[in-house]
Amino acid sequence: MASAAAVVALNVGGELFQTTTATLSRAGASSPLASLGPSSPSAPHFLDGDPLLFAQLLSFLRHGRLLAHPPPSAALLAEARHFALDGALLASLSPASAFAPLSLRPSALLPLTGRVAPSAVAVCPSPPHPASLVAAHGRVVTCFDAALSTRTSVLTPLPAVDSLLAVSPALALAGARDFPGVHLCRFSDEAPAAAAAVPKVLSWPGSPSATVLSMATTGAPSAPWLFASFESVRRNSSAMVAFDLNSFSPVAEIGRKEVFGADVEAAIPATKLGWLGEHNLLLAAGSHSSPGGVVGDIRLWDIRASATVPVWEVREKEDCFADVAASDTLSAIFKVGAASGEVFMADLRRLGNGGGIGLEPWVCIGNGQRAAAAASSRRKEGNGCKIECCCNWVFVARGADVEVWSQVELAPEAGGKKVMKRNWVGSGPSMEVGAGEEAIKEKAKIVSWAFGGSRMVLTRADQRSVEVWDSAPAAICANT
C-alpha cells in the first residue's frame, strides 16, 4: 500500500483524482505528470484537461494498456499528446509480446485513396517504435499510426513502388524497378535528424543502382544498417549495398555480379533479403525463369569476413523456391517449392562453410512424396506462394489463404525431437465478384504482407485497402 507521502491529488477540469508518484513516473521524463510531487486533496495540483479522457490515461499508466479495445479515439490521442503520453500509448497498442499466431483475426480494413491497388506493405519495427504500418499504392506511400486512426501520405517520384521498408513511424524507404536509388519518405519532422542532411535518394557511386529489388535492416540500435539489392537497367550487373542508417551513408558493396554473354544464370540478382541478427548473416536469394525451368541462388553472407565471397551458397534447380525466408530463433532457412508448393527447411547449424555449393540441405516438412512427384513432373503449384518468419513461427500464403508452421516437441518416448507442425489461420474476408444472382464470394490472392507487434498486415489483388489482422479477436471494421 502506498504511503501518504507518495499520494498525489490532481484537479483535472474540476474533478478530483488521486494516484501515486510511482504511477505518474511511468509517464516518462518528457511528460509533465512525472514531475508532480505528493499533494493533498485540499491542495491538489491543477491540470487543464478533460477529466473523462484523463481517467483513461491514468488507467493506462496503472495497467500499462488500455482496458477498452483499441484503437483509441482521436480525442484520447490528442489528450495523450497534451501530456506527452502519445508515444507510450501508441507503443502499447500492438506489443510483440501479445503476438499469438493462432489467434490472429481480421480486425481492421484500411481503405487507400486513388484507383491503384497497393503493391507493397511494411510494418515499423517494434520496439522501440510504435508498430505503425506503411503501404505503397502507385506513386503514393501512406503511413498509419499504431492506433490506425491517423494517416499521412507522401508522393514519390517513382512510377510504382515495388519494395518498401519502414524504419520508424516517421520514415520509410521505397524502391522501384528501373528507377535509380532508395527513396526516403518522411512522414513528419520527427524523422531521424540525419535524414534531413542527406539526399532524398540513397545510392552507391558506381554500383548498378537502377533497380531496387529488395531491402532489409539489421534492426540493431548500436549498428543499424540497411541492405538494398540493386540491378542495372540492362540487367547485366547486380549488387547489394549496405547503408548506415545513422548517417544514411553507403558502407559497403556486397556480392557484385556481372553477366558475360548469355550466361544470365551466373549473375542472378537477389530479390529477397533477410537479416539473421543472432548469426550476423545476410540472406540473399534470387531466381531466374527460362524455357528450361526455374533456377535460383540462395546465399548467406558474413560481411565482416568478406563482401565478395558468401559463407554458404546453394543453387536451386529441381524444385526451385517460390519464396524463401530465414528464422533467427529457429536457426533455419525455409522455402516454398515453386513446383510442389511444399515447405522445406534447412538447418543453419548443418550448413557447410567455405562458399562452395553445399550438399542438398533441404528437408521437406510437408508432404515429401508429393514434393518429389511435383518436381519430377515440373509442375508450378507453388507459383505465387509467399513465406515469412516471425519469432518462432513460419507463415505461408497460398493464394488467399494463410497457414502457420510451429515447432513442437515430441513426447520423451519418441526421443524428445522437435518437429514442425502445420496449422491453419484462415483467409479472412471475401470479395464479391459479379452482380445479382450471379454474384459469388471470392477470396482475393495475397500479394504482399508484413509482421510487427501483435499484427499481421496484408494486401490482396485488385483491392484498394490494407487488411489488418490482430492477435486480439475483433469484428472487422472499415477505418475511414
pLDDT digits (tens), the chain, 480 positions = 445 558 999 999 999 999 999 999 998 888 999 999 999 999 999 999 999 999 999 999 998 877 766 567 888 888 998 999 888 888 888 888 888 998 898 888 999 988 899 999 999 876 667 778 999 999 999 999 888 877 899 999 998 998 999 988 888 999 988 888 899 998 876 555 555 555 688 888 777 666 666 777 876 666 688 899 988 877 788 899 999 888 888 889 999 988 876 666 777 889 999 999 888 999 999 988 776 677 889 999 998 889 999 999 888 887 889 999 999 999 999 999 988 999 999 998 877 544 444 457 899 998 888 888 888 887 888 888 999 999 899 999 999 999 999 988 766 655 557 888 999 887 766 555 455 554 445 678 999 999 988 899 999 998 999 999 988 644 334 444
**Residue 58 counted as domain residue:** yes
**Residue 60 counted as domain residue:** yes
Closest to 362 measured CA to CA, from 379, 341, 386, 343: 343
Per-residue model confidence (pLDDT) at position 426? 78
**Residue 345 counted as domain residue:** no
**Residue 19 counted as domain residue:** yes
Q: What is the pTM of this model?
A: 0.84
Per-residue model confidence (pLDDT) at position 156? 92
Per-residue model confidence (pLDDT) at position 264? 64
Residue 41: Cβ within 10 Å count: 12
Per-residue model confidence (pLDDT) at position 272? 92
User: Residue 49 belongs to a domain with what CATH number?
Assistant: 3.30.710.10
Per-residue model confidence (pLDDT) at position 29? 85
**Residue 53 counted as domain residue:** yes
Three state DSSP letters for the chain: CCCHHHEEEEEECCEEEEEEHHHHHCCCCCCHHHHCCCCCCCCCEEECCCHHHHHHHHHHHHHCCCCCCCCCCHHHHHHHHHCCCHHHHHHCCCCHHHCCHHHCEEEEEEECCCCCCCCEEEECCCCCCCCCEEEEECCEEEEECCCCCCEEEEECCCCCCCEEEEEECCEEEEEECCEEEEEEEECCCCCCHHHHHCCCEECCCCCCCCEEEEEEECCCCCCCEEEEEEECCCCCEEEEEEEECCCCEEEEEEEEEECCCCCHHHHCCCCEEEEECCCCEEEEEEEEEECCEEEEEEEEECCCCCCCCCCEEEEECCCCEEEEEEECCCCEEEEEECCCCCEEEEEHHHCCCCCCECCCCCEECCCHHHHHHHHHCCCCCCCCCEEEEECCEEEEEECCEEEEEEEEECCHHHCCCEEEEEEEEECCCCEEECCHHHCEEECCCEEEEEEECCEEEEEECCCCEEEEEECCCCCCCECC
Per-residue model confidence (pLDDT) at position 412? 63
**Residue 399 counted as domain residue:** no
Per-residue model confidence (pLDDT) at position 209? 65
**Residue 14 counted as domain residue:** yes
**Residue 23 counted as domain residue:** yes
Structurally, how many domains does the chain consist of?
1
Per-residue model confidence (pLDDT) at position 257? 87
Domain with 24 in it: 4-91
